[in-house]
Amino acid sequence: ETGVTQTPRHLVMGMTNKKSLKCEQHLGHNAMYWYKQSAKKPLELMFVYSLEERVENNSVPSRFSPECPNSSHLFLHLHTLQPEDSALYLCASSQATYSLASSYNEQFFGPGTRLTVL
């Protein structure tokens, strides 16, 4: 496997179910991200983990619970979701790159999990 992989690719769940999304990066990066992409909104950053520590949580409801057990794996645990949570959930990873003039964190994305909440 190369790059960033996500499983499952498609998920249909009821509002009372509990499920988990998995992301794995094979790039040796030290930061991982969860994004939500829904039809009528720009891509939204949900969580950021840097060196396995959560560093950003963008006012995401508690029914979404991230977990980062090591630098290569990221999970998003889902419970009691709402129909408006139906979206494409994208995982990304990055490694800080430094030069004399600047630093940057180019993010590489996985294929996404298409989630439908009934």
Partner 1 sequence: ELKVEQNPLFLSMQEGKNYTIYCNYSTTSDRLYWYRQDPGKSLESLFVLLSNGAVKQEGRLMASLDTKARLSTLHITAAVHDLSATYFCAVDSPLRTSYGKLTFGQGTILTVHP
Question: Residues in the site for partner 1, rule: CB under 8 A?
Answer: 30-31, 33, 42-45, 48, 50-51, 55-56, 90, 92, 94, 96, 101-112
Of residues 8 and 14, the one with the C-beta less far from partner 1: 8
Taking residue 25's Cβ as centre, other Cβ atoms within 10 Å add up to 26
Torsion angle of C-alpha atoms 47, 54, 15, 83, degrees rounded to 10: -10
Of residues 80 and 97, the one with the C-beta less far from partner 1: 97
Q: How far is the CB of 114 from partner 1 (least distance, A)?
A: 8
Yes or no: say if 60 and 81 are a contact pair by the CB < 8 Å rule.
Answer: no
Q: How far is the CB of 38 from partner 1 (least distance, A)?
A: 12
Nearest of 7, 11, 9, 36 to residue 23 by alpha carbon:
7
Of residues 43 and 118, the one with the C-beta less far from partner 1: 43
Which structure tokens are listed for 106?
């180019």
Which structure tokens are listed for 66?
């991230």
Of residues 21 and 31, the one with the C-beta less far from partner 1: 31
Q: How far is the CB of 15 from partner 1 (least distance, A)?
A: 25
